[in-house]
Structure formats: C-alpha cells, structure tokens
C-alpha cells in the first residue's frame, strides 16, 4: 500500500506553511492538495478553523476579502489544505480584485496536485454568479467539488432542507462529481461529514 493511503489524517495537526502572492512561491506541485474557495463573506476562514480545531489558523475578519493571498496549511509531508482568495464581495480597488481573480484562475488551471475544491457558500445566498462560474470551470476541468452550505444555523429546519435540495438537484447537471452538505462553522455542524469527504480525497492519489 502506498504511504499516502496508509496514514490516518488528523486535521488538528494542520500548521501554517506560507502565504503566496504568486504561484511560483507555492510548495512543489506534488502530493495532494484540497483548496477552500468561496465568496468573501461566506465564512471560509471560519470553516477552516473549525475543521482544524484551531481558531487562530486562518485569519477571520469582520471585513470580507481579508484573504488576499494563497495560504498554505500542511497536514503532513504529502497533504496540504489551501485557503484561496475570497471573491466577489471584497471592498478593494478593482485592480487588486482583478489580480486576485487572475491568481485564483491560474492556480485552478495549473496546479496539478489539486485534488478537489471545497466551495463555501452562505446558505442564504447560494449559487451566486461567481459560484456558478467556478462550478462550470471545475466541471470542464473534471475537478471534484464539495459544497458547504455554511451558516445553516441562520435558517429554520425547513428552509435549510429546501435550499440543500435545490443546490443538490442543480449540481446533478454537471458530469464531474459534485456533492453538497449543510454546515455551520458557528455551531460546528457538519464537521464529521466534511472530514469524511476530505479524507476520501486525500487517500486516493
């Protein structure tokens, strides 16, 4: 059995490695990476902190768009979590926003060790134009996507189940494997299901 499949993954051991403004600053393109991406106010950093049980791992800001670089977190010598720049909402100059989008696009296009995307959406505002663009790109690139409908604690039971059903039905139109779940970083709801999806990706090189 190959070493990547042997090791049990402990997300609590995630440690910050570096922040990269350019792809050339990233670690060697080998092993397995899973990237977290989403609209700037979807709670992506909070999701990462809950997953790793470390409130200080990813910087959380009340100002959307704080993540302006590609942040790399190491799980072990073969596996990494990637926090990609948020998109679509941040109150930043257009020139800076265009640079973020270019960096994001190049990463998704060129990073060969990228296994899949965790797409974080605010359950109250799912499938924005930016989310749809990302899903179509991932489908064309045959890149797996797991959607977290974050902030599910903000909706009543019936409303969040309805949104989950709508998004789940929508992603069946894509040929690439796409899945969806309810999540709440605030209430730690859905952590185990997220861990199971990540571990399946990390164990299949």
User: Structure tokens of 109?
Assistant: 């296009």
Distances (CA, A) of 119 to 3, 24, 77, 99: 28, 24, 24, 20
User: Structure tokens of 145?
Assistant: 């996507």
CA gap 78, 24 in Å, rounded:
19
Among 172, 109, 102, 110, CA closest to 140 = 109
Q: Kindly give the interhelix angle for 191-202 and 44-52, rounded to the nearest 10 degrees.
A: 80
The pTM score is: 0.90
More confident residue, 150 or 55: 150
Residue spans per domain, the chain: 3-202
Q: In this structure, are residues 6 and 89 in contact, taking their beta carbons and an 8 Å threshold?
A: no
Per-residue pLDDT tens digits for 69-105: 889 999 999 999 999 887 765 566 777 777 777 777 8
Sign of the Cα pseudo-torsion (169, 129, 145, 10, in order): negative
Q: Which of 105-109, 144-148, 183-187, 196-200 has the lowest mean pLDDT?
A: 105-109
CATH architecture of the domain with residue range 3-202:
3-Layer(aba) Sandwich (3.40)
Distances (CA, A) of 147 to 26, 31, 167: 25, 23, 9
Residue with tokens 């990706």, as numbered in its chain? 201
User: Structure tokens of 23?
Assistant: 């792809």
According to the model, what pLDDT value does residue 1 have? 45
CA gap 76, 64 in Å, rounded:
30
**Pairing verdict, β 70-74 and 79-83:** antiparallel
């Amino acid at each position: 059995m190959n070493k990547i499949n042997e090791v049990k993954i402990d997300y609590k051991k995630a440690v910050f490695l570096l922040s990269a403004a350019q792809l050339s600053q990233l670690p060697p393109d080998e092993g397995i990476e899973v990237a977290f991406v989403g609209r700037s106010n979807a709670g992506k950093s909070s999701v990462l902190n809950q997953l790793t049980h470390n409130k200080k791992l990813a910087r959380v800001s009340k100002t959307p768009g704080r993540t302006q670089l590609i942040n790399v977190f190491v799980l072990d010598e073969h596996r990494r979590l990637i926090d990609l720049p948020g998109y679509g909402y941040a109150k930043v100059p257009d020139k800076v926003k265009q640079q973020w989008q270019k960096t994001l696009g190049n990463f998704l296009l060129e990073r060969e060790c990228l296994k899949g995307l965790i797409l974080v959406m605010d359950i109250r505002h799912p499938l924005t134009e930016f989310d749809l663009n990302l899903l179509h790109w991932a489908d064309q690139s045959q890149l797996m996507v797991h959607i977290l409908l974050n902030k599910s604690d903000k909706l009543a039971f019936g409303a969040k189940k309805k949104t989950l059903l709508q998004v789940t039905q929508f992603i069946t139109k894509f040929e690439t494997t796409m899945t969806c779940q309810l999540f709440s970083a605030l209430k730690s709801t859905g952590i185990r299901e997220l861990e199971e999806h990540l571990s399946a990706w990390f164990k299949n090189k």
